[in-house]
Amino acid sequence: MIALAGRPERLLIERDGLVYPRLGARRSGRVILVDRTLGLAMLDIGEGQEASLRLKADRPPPVQGQSLDIEIAIEPQGGKPAVARVTSGEETGAPPSTQEALEARLARLAPGAQVVQGAGARALVDEAEEEALAVEHPLPGGGSMAIESTRALVAVDVDLGAGGARDAKRAARQANLNALAELARLLRLKSLGGLIVVDLVGRGHDGPALAHAAQTAFVPDQPGVVIGPITRFGTLELALPRRLRPVREILCGAGGRLTAETLALRLIRSIEREAAADPGARLRAICAPEVAAAAAKPAAMLAGVVGARFELVADPASAPDRWEIAPL
């Protein structure tokens, strides 16, 4: 996790079994389909993965079966494959480990920043994960903002709440300014991009002030950010580059529920906290069978840290997102 002024700004997730082409990864791809009408070519990039390649008007299109050296420009998201671009050569050397890949991504996004580890850091990551998955977010000074992603766009609704009872116009202006600053941070935290439509609160908006606030807030996302004027319907539209796979798509399955792997890691962190609170206790964790199965490997790693003083019990009657940890 990377923090901005003490608040989570980016959440990077790397774990065993999480397989998809990462931003910046270089591969060798084989052309399996060329569609000149759509201006796209589809590539087989190995490990059962595919990527799309946008055809360029100033160069001849590839042919089916051709091998290309490519770099991932956009990670897969929204049910769509990754987007690739042609490079001058394939990256050589062994692929990095999970830890090495995470450290490299952190270094690119926050060069020179101190890396903090341990229980405190894990607690902050848990909070960042909850915020990344949340829909409604409080605003400084009152009010709230809801962020919901659809297939077409990201819809944002700014709500003043009860904070503007005395001076509604001034409160609405401040809420909109606060919302834009928070929105930039939250979209980075959630790894969301594409078309963003913000339903501002109030009427008679100060267009120049809001445009300046948006430009300032989204500086870290440049290049590629486009900010439109406020419409007569009181909405502000932005276009942000899509680069990373959304956090929700990593942590959740197709139905929007947390995956067994995500829940298993939450369970293991809960056991770790209980073990730290009572160093001499032996613990039993009762959980759903699919969560127990997914937790087997991280449980073995935790046992190497706190000792083999806990056990996992699979209970078919347990809901996947509910478990019980108690002394033996």
Give the DSSP per-residue string, 88-130: SS---SPPPPHHHHHHHHHHHHSTTPPP--SHHHHHHHHHHHH
Confidence of residue 299 (pLDDT cuts 50, 70, 90): very high
pLDDT in the model for residue 14: 82
For the cut 90, the answer to whether the pLDDT of residue 101 exceeds it is no
- What per-residue confidence (pLDDT) applies to 141? 83
d(CA 238, CA 241): 10
Q: Are 300 and 310 in contact (CB under 8 A)?
A: no
Q: What pLDDT is attached to residue 192?
A: 96
Which of 302, 301, 304 is CA-nearest to residue 270?
Answer: 302
Q: What integer pLDDT is reported at residue 163 of this predicted model?
A: 56
Respond yes or no on whether the N-terminal peptide bond of residue 246 is cis (omega within 30° of 0): no
The reported pLDDT for the residue numbered 1 is: 76
Per-residue pLDDT reduced to its tens digit, 247-290: 999 999 888 899 999 999 999 999 999 999 998 899 999 999 99
| Whole-number pLDDT of residue 121 | 80
> 283 near 327, Cβ under 8 Å?
yes
- 94 pLDDT band, cuts 50/70/90, is low
Q: Round the average pLDDT of the chain to a whole number and report it.
A: 89
pLDDT of residue 91: 53
Residues 82 and 21 sit within 8 Å (Cβ to Cβ): yes
- Which tens digits make up the pLDDT trace of 9-56? 988 888 877 888 888 888 899 999 999 999 999 999 988 899 999 999
**What was the pLDDT predicted at 90?**
52
Domain with residues 26-86, CATH architecture = Beta Barrel (2.40)
CATH 1.20.120.1200 given to domain 252-327:
no
Give the start-to-end residue ranges of the domains of the chain: 26-86, 137-240, 252-327
Please give the share of the chain, as a percent, with pLDDT higher than 90. 65
Structure tokens at 77: 């998201």
Q: What is the pLDDT of residue 180?
A: 95
- pLDDT tens string 172-227: 899 999 999 999 999 999 999 999 999 999 888 888 999 999 999 999 999 999 99
pLDDT in tens, 159-170: 987 655 567 788
3-state DSSP percent of the chain in helix, strand and coil, to 5: 30, 30, 40
Q: Does the predicted TM-score (pTM) go above 0.75?
A: yes
Q: What CATH number does domain 137-240 carry, 1.10.3470, 3.40.50, 3.40.630, 2.40.128?
A: 3.40.630
Confidence of residue 6 (pLDDT cuts 50, 70, 90): confident
